[in-house]
């Protein structure tokens, strides 16, 4: 292996170190908040927020002019929350179901974003390069201040989750029960939504609109296979987020594309997502309790056991029924004629 490769893998290079720490923090925050999003059936709300935030970025651009990063993110946050409010309103006040509401809001907000960004591009001072970065993300160009932004967002999310862990657990497990207990479920729901939006917006510049949703969903879904315990699942999900972020970033930095391809390396965002998908796939196949392969084995053995019991029963007519079945002193044919209502097993008599 060449020197250069080792430099990257051992994080000797300062810029690699910056990018890796940025994506890792993002993976952690997204994994943790994503666990709640998935359990609360809010998986695709992150997707909708990510798409809906685009016009916010454009509007902020109109207002504050050149790339003021904080202002762009604030605009994105406002429109992201506005979009999710629209989804909730459509779901609650019309006959349209949530899935269609998500699709409509996501698409038309994003359309508005495209309309606005095209107008920005036509302006003499316009520079759409910054906006295009939000569509697919440019993790490789992350600088220290970006990492600090992500770090503070991640710290904030972590703090809120730690403080309100009990409430979020109740919210995800049984919203109605929580409401009956007098918990302010609407407020908690809103807080969860705000955290999802915050995390999504913070991640947009790094992984882009479409793949930000993936970072929320996939680690949580992978963690779900391994445990039935919420605390453990949240921790695992955060862990999967960090691992896929680090591995994906390093992969994108080290694997070179073919010589004549468009870009030199591979895009970072997709590499992170694909790493996470591989972890998900392995979890789905192999996890001991909920995994597919162990489940297949159990199904097979259940079938075999049933067949065995049935054979035994037929063979041992007259002997007591197998263990799972207390002997039932009832007639099993339901006929009025006396000969038909005779017990079907001698044991029943």
| Cα separation, 281 vs 256, whole angstroms | 25
Which residue among 36, 61, 79, 110 contacts another protein (CB under 8 A)? 110
288 belongs to the binding site for another protein (CB under 8 A): no
If we measure between CA atoms, which residue out of 152, 130, 134 comes closest to residue 64?
A: 130
205 belongs to the binding site for another protein (CB under 8 A): no
Which DSSP symbol is given to 349?
-
**CA distance to 33, 41, 105, 204, per residue, from 94 (Å):** 29, 20, 14, 31
Which DSSP symbol is given to 346?
G
Give least dist CB 108 to another protein, A: 2
303 belongs to the binding site for another protein (CB under 8 A): yes
Task: Show Cβ contacts of residue 15 under 8 Å, excluding neighbours closer than 6 positions.
Answer: none
134 belongs to the binding site for another protein (CB under 8 A): no
Give least dist CB 290 to another protein, A: 6
**CA distance to 47, 55, 109, per residue, from 115 (Å):** 20, 9, 10
Stretch that binds another protein, among 44-52, 148-156, 172-180, 237-245 (CB under 8 A): 44-52
Name which of 127 and 340 has its Cβ closer to another protein.
340
41 belongs to the binding site for another protein (CB under 8 A): yes
Task: Show Cβ contacts of residue 210 under 8 Å, excluding neighbours closer than 6 positions.
Answer: 47, 50, 135, 136
Q: Which residue has the tokens 């520079």?
A: 127
Which residue among 292, 312, 316, 319 contacts another protein (CB under 8 A)? 292
Touching another protein, residues 240-279 (CB under 8 A): 257-258, 260-263, 266-267, 269-271, 273-274, 276-277
Contact predicate 200/72, CB 8 Å: no
* Residue 41: count of CB within 10 angstroms of its CB: 10
Give least dist CB 182 to another protein, A: 27
Name which of 7 and 99 has its Cβ closer to another protein.
99
Give least dist CB 52 to another protein, A: 11
Touching another protein, residues 45-104 (CB under 8 A): 47, 51, 90, 93-97, 99-104
223 belongs to the binding site for another protein (CB under 8 A): no
């Amino acid at each position: 292996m060449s020197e250069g490769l080792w430099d990257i893998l051992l994080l000797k290079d300062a810029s690699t170190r910056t990018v890796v720490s940025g994506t890792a923090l993002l993976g952690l925050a997204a994994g943790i908040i994503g666990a709640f999003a998935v359990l609360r059936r809010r998986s695709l709300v992150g997707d909708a927020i990510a798409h809906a935030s685009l016009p916010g970025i454009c509007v902020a651009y109109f207002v504050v002019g050149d790339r003021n990063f904080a202002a762009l993110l604030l605009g994105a946050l406002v429109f992201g929350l506005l979009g999710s409010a629209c989804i909730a309103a459509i779901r609650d006040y019309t006959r349209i179901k949530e899935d269609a509401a998500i699709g409509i809001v996501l698409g038309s907000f994003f359309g508005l974003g495209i309309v606005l960004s095209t107008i920005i591009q036509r302006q003499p001072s316009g520079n759409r390069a910054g906006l295009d970065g939000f569509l697919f993300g440019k993790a490789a160009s992350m600088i220290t201040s970006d990492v600090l932004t992500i770090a503070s967002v991640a710290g904030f999310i972590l703090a809120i989750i730690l403080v309100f862990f009990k409430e979020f657990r109740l919210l995800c497990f049984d919203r109605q029960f929580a409401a009956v207990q007098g918990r302010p479920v609407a407020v908690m729901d809103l807080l969860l939504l705000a955290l999802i939006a915050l995390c999504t917006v913070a991640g947009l510049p790094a992984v882009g609109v479409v793949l930000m949703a993936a970072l929320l969903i996939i680690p949580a879904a992978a963690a779900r296979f391994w445990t039935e315990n919420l605390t453990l699942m949240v921790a695992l999900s955060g862990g999967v987020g960090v691992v896929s972020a680090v591995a994906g970033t390093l992969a994108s930095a080290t694997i070179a594309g073919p010589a004549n391809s468009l870009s030199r390396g591979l895009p970072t965002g997709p590499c992170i997502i694909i790493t996470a998908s591989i972890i998900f796939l392995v979890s789905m196949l192999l996890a001991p309790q909920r995994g597919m392969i162990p489940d297949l084995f159990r199904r097979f053995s259940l079938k075999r056991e049933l067949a065995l019991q049935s054979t035994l029963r037929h063979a041992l007519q007259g002997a007591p029924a197998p263990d799972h079945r207390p002997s039932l002193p009832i007639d099993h044919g339901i006929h009025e004629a006396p000969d038909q209502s005779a017990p079907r097993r001698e044991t029943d008599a």
